[in-house]
Amino acid sequence: MLLVSFFDGRRTAAQVRELFKKSSGADVELSMVRELAQALEEASFLETPAVAERRRKSLESFRASPRRAAAFAGQSYPAEPAALAREFDAYFMAENGPGKRREAEPSRPAPLGLVAPHIDFPRGGPAYAWAYQALSERRPPDVIVALGVAHSSPDAPWTFTPKKYETPFGPMEVDSALYDDLAAKVWYDPRADEWVHKSEHSLEFQAAWLRHLWGERTPPWVPILVSSFERFSPEEAPSQIPTIEKALKDLEEVVRRHAEKGRRVMVLAGVDLAHVGPRFGDEFEVTPELERKVESEDRRSLVDAMALDADGFYRSGVAGERWRKVCGLSALYTGLRLIKGLENASTGRLLAYGQAPDPAGGLVSFASAIFDAR
């Protein structure tokens, strides 16, 4: 790692070798420096013209495709439909799960909103099951506005894509009418950072659950990835930022207008909550006391979220210099705003709360909730 740290694009192999010797007291062959550079370039870890060209072709290919491939199928979850269905179904009756299976013939009307985790299934499966079991008791909506987290956080606050999200159970179709109306309300190219959809899991995991739940009856959606608002709104709610507030009001109006035309709109947020511990840059270790503190603060934030107090939820998330690092803060803030803008929006019901250790040393928390109409 020390040797690689001297690869700045300006130094020669001989200069890198000399710096390494001065810094470490050890010597390496010049051929080793060159061989390492070649291996890194072949693995696309060096910024070279060849790597830039590979990136360009990859992005062009993604942009031209009408489909967004299931990037994590076969890695994070089974790519074979029957195997994935068995895994999902097991979570309903698993420890910490809802204790009942999905409803085959729902009788209740579609909800206005749903909150589900986006942590990997082995750690968060039962919490997903709480959200999607409750959803199974409702009839499908006509369209879904799906908000996920853009973990790479590009410049665009909201990044749109008209691509179908593929899943082992079939693709999630995009509602073109709602997509066009929403995308027209942002002040920038809504697809400028579309590449973030290519390898982002927060909506891919929701797509798989939705298709598992409803199969061919699954309604179309509009998939939107939300960047972190904390960079321009570190202490106050984003409603204090004129450009963001205007766009949010415009997006609310679009969603409300579609609902007023008789369409049943559901807002889905695929979000996690706190990320603490060494894995996430903290110097402190995860202890039982820290777990209790995280849960206490999370639940305080969730009280605001269930009350559809988006500003209160956001302020609680950034309190204490953002020590919890709530990765779903901006996506859920957006979701709460859109839900509250719908007619007859009611307070939400928290279905489940959970925490899971990170293999590299840390703690991630998450929750599930549903918002029905009054």
Cβ–Cβ < 8 Å for 128, 116: yes
Sequence-distant (6+) residues with CB within 8 A of 241 are 229, 232, 233
| DSSP symbols for 268-300 | EEE----EESGGGT-SSPP-HHHHHHHHHHHHH
Q: What is the mean predicted confidence (pLDDT) over 285-305?
A: 98
Q: What pLDDT does residue 67 have?
A: 97
Q: Is the pLDDT of residue 86 over 90?
A: yes
345-372 pLDDT, tens digit each: 999 999 999 999 998 999 999 999 999 9
pLDDT recorded at residue 104: 85
* pTM of the complete model: 0.92
Res 136: pLDDT: 97
Give the pLDDT mean for 82-92: 98
Q: Work out the mean pLDDT of the chain and round it to a whole number.
A: 96
Task: Domains for the chain: give ranges and CATH numbers.
Answer: 4-47 (no CATH), 68-371 (3.40.830.10)
At 115, the pLDDT band (50, 70, 90 cuts) reads very high
Apex 273 CA angle, 339 and 334, nearest 5: 25
Kindly report, residue by residue over 125-179, the tens digit of the pLDDT: 999 999 999 999 999 999 999 999 999 999 999 999 999 999 999 999 999 999 9
For residues 35-52, average pLDDT: 92
The yes-or-no verdict on residue 253 having pLDDT over 90 is yes
User: Please, which pLDDT band fits residue 107 given cuts at 50, 70 and 90?
Assistant: confident
Residue 196, pLDDT above cutoff 90: yes
Q: Is 90 exceeded by the pLDDT of residue 105?
A: no
* Distance, CA of 301 to CA of 314 (rounded, Å): 8
SS3 content of the chain, % helix, strand, coil (to 5): 45, 15, 40
Token pair for 282: 């903290």
Q: 86 φ, ψ to 5°?
A: -65, -40
Kindly indicate the confidence band of residue 35, based on its pLDDT and cuts at 50, 70 and 90: very high
What are phi and psi for residue 231, nearest 5 degrees? -65, -30
Tokens at 111, concatenated: 């909800």
